[in-house]
Structure 1
Amino acid sequence: MSLTRRTLALAGVAGLGLAGCTPRPAANGQTVLSAVDVHPADYPTVTAVKWMGEELGRLTNGRIGIRQFPAGQLGTEDDSIGLTRFQAVDICRVAVAALNNAFPETRLLALPYVYRDVAHVRAVVDGKIGTELLNVFEGRGLIGLAYYDAAPRSFYNVRHPVTEPGQMRGLKMRSPQSDIFLDSIRAMGANPTPLTFGAVFSSLQTHLIDGAENNWPSYQSSRQFEVARYWSETQHSFSPDALLMSKAAFDRMTPADQEMIRDVARRSVQVMRAEWDKREARARETVIAAGVQVSEVDKAAFAATVRPVLDKYLAEPRLRALHERIAAVA
């Protein structure tokens, strides 16, 4: 994961814009952490980080707070990762798919049909495995604070209902910029097209792509349902989101403040999930009321198409052992 020219430019802009909000204490002793997210201000992940800032303020009598930049104000998720690694911002929320190539261990969170349901993935990220998968980021300038819900993910398209893999053939489907998602979509018979999340709506409108895959809240909040009217309940991925902090910013804080931030981040997960469950139900109701056609699918057939993808990634002994541990989680 290297800095692009775009990220360098954004880092310069962010550095100017956040000059008064670095994690170094200001003259009045206050520390204001900057946090970025591509989702809108009322999205569950943004709401959870807002709660974190309020809780940190309460615990420190206003000494530590968080200033948020939602709705992609500082670029794409890839930009967010670079800005956080190189200290232009302090905290970012990104999809795990954006981290898979740089942090191979996170691939077990994104591989298709690894998790049975939402309860299973929550049990994994809340337990010992989740802690281990938060610790993989430190070697590359990041601190893993928490995993947030972002699943299940399913396909939707502008062309026709899809109930079995054969109906995916020929469709140009947007993919996150992750080898796992590219391989999985290709295995299901579609043509994967890597695009940033913010480019999906216009690409659906102009038929640069025929469809995409995501969760109900993102499908609704991005208004993609207005052009892609066919939803297929594949639930192929339970990939979560990661809440990350700049290691340089974290290291400048006292051990007591570091532990407090970790604790508040862990507790924010329940805040996020409460909002997520409500938002997911509301988003589904909204898009169905708007006329979106929802189709049940042959999940076993979809799972069979991506078995070679699983075998490819699980050929690595470390990932296979981790997969076996995940499968064993109750």
Structure 2
Amino acid sequence: MTDRRMIVGIRGSGIAATTCAYLLKAAGLRVATKVVHRPPVPTIMLSDAALALLRDIFQRPDLFADSPRIKRRVVAWGGGAPVVVPHGAALASEDQVQAVLAKDKPAPEDGPVDFTIHAAPPMPEGETHVFGDRRAVAAKVGLRDPSCSEEGRVEAVASGWLFLVPAGAGEGWLLGVGGSLDDLLADSRLIAPVVDAVAAASTPFLAAPRLHLPLCGEDWLACGTAALGFDPICGDGTAQSVREAILAAAVVTGIAEGQDATALLTHYQSMLIAVMRRHLLLCAQFYTTGGTGDWWRAQQDALLEGHRWCTGLLAKMPEPGFLLEGTRLVPRQQAA
């Protein structure tokens, strides 16, 4: 494919899809979007790293400058006393993020496309591999302590963990992983004393890391949470979706400019497997130190097994052949 004006279809409506569309349009490609509706995430924590990426890509240095911010985290982990650590992040709903970022999003188009970026399931082929058996529930809560409006609280308990983030006007969102909110709060010393129930808990949803394979084919690739999903314990999911979008757009732009499509797509798959491998090891460290019960040990075992599996996959793949310079991929020998 050497046509600089190749048509790229993008399926999805989240941050990864919107970022891909913006970058591909900026590179001169034609973009056809297909919105895939799903329930929006009520609150997104835009870490300073994610915020810096978005501001740079969309050339908006003031992006979310007026949004409520988290200034610290209070962490009670592994039965230890709570520890306060600095943490910078802006808070916004997914609807707010999309309203800001999607102003220049291409209008939906019908008709054939040359290449498709799948930022929402289903994929054309393959299956999703899940590393662990963890479900989460979320609920709107009232905040008893005004200091909670500027902090996130994370707490490990016997059968799982809790994560509290503010949502403005004396309210917050409470995430529970490993059991029902009632059971988790019954063991809580850090979070239970500062919250009151406001609404019923959500339907349980998957909270374990996951990776779809294959991540690409001759005329498609997967991006965002459709490609891989992070455990919310890491707090890096939004930044990862943006980084994936940058890489995906660079791969497709390279294909449109006549670079080796097979090499580019192989590079994309190996880089995302490597990302998941690092994430699994990071998560394993959290689950190793969070608790000593059967639930904690089972999650740790699943994460380490996933890490070994990803290591085996990467051992069979070629060394990465490209380097990302800005928003473009260049062959390693050329970059050197």
Q: TM-score, normalised by structure 2?
A: 0.27
Larger Rg: 2
Q: Which has the higher helix share?
A: 1
Q: TM-score, normalised by structure 1?
A: 0.27
Greater relative contact order structure (CA < 8 Å, 6+ sep) = 1
